[in-house]
Structure 1
């Protein structure tokens, strides 16, 4: 009975509260939401988190082994990557990184949603590509986080 109570308490903590990260200015966020074409030879990459589950959790995000930032609820990141290449995106999960690969074309913007899922001890995270239409609609409701701070490695 005590184990069930402890498990319920841990689950409640994971589902409540709200993690926060350093945010970019409102102007930077608004500029990123114009979805401008990326720089010459590059592809734009928006990675965002809009899931209700795991509001108290922060999760690192990496692109090609480089820290994009630490996510929190209702934030997005925008970065540029080389176009015409396969890129590896990682997010920390409960026991190891969850990884996807994304082939990009020069001049296009891509959208990847980070989602939180319940784990055995702590919530995990995953990544999934979404359509440009869905990604733009979701990002418009979120705010730009400052990138570059991760606690771990992919």
Structure 2
């Protein structure tokens, strides 16, 4: 009986969805048109379009500053100065990705969810525009700091 209760509890924990503060709906719609960025900035989309690890929130930093927290099917958007930046994802592990962003461009980082020992792990990937746009379109904007 105890084992059935433990299995049910674990299944409930794994199936639960993490919630994070969502961004403004009109801003989400606007960002999904992938608007041009001024020449003194670069736009950075960081998205997590998978359902795996749904109960796990993952904090994201850019250059050591926390910018937001992702959950399943969400994305962050941040305009930064062009140049080199370090993106960090915190899950069961900590993964980092170095990017060199060009002025007036948009870049897309996929926060892949991987199986961990106790919780989900993550792996960051700089992806091509077409893949990035598709991932963002199936996700919802979360608040950034």
TM-score above 0.5, yes or no? yes
Shift of 1:143: 1.2
TM-score by length of 1: 0.83
Runs of 4+ in structure 1 displaced over 3 angstroms?
6-10, 12-15
Q: Which runs of 5+ in 2 are unaligned?
A: none
Is 1:17 the counterpart of 2:16? The answer is: yes
Q: What's the Cα RMSD here?
A: 2.2
Q: Structure 1 residue 126 and structure 2 residue 123: aligned?
A: yes
Which residue matches 2:87? 89
Q: How many residues align?
A: 143
Partner Cα separation in structure 2 for residue 99 and residue 66 of structure 1 = 13
Match in the other structure for 2:60: 61
TM-score (norm 2): 0.88
Q: Could you say which residue in structure 2 is the equivalent of 1:36? A: 35
Hey, what does 2:101 align to over in structure 1?
Answer: 104
Consecutive unaligned residues of structure 1, counting only runs of 5 or more, are: 149-154
Q: Deviations over 1:101-137 (max 9, x none)?
A: 0111101100001122121222222211111011111
Larger deviation, residues 45-54 vs 113-122: 113-122
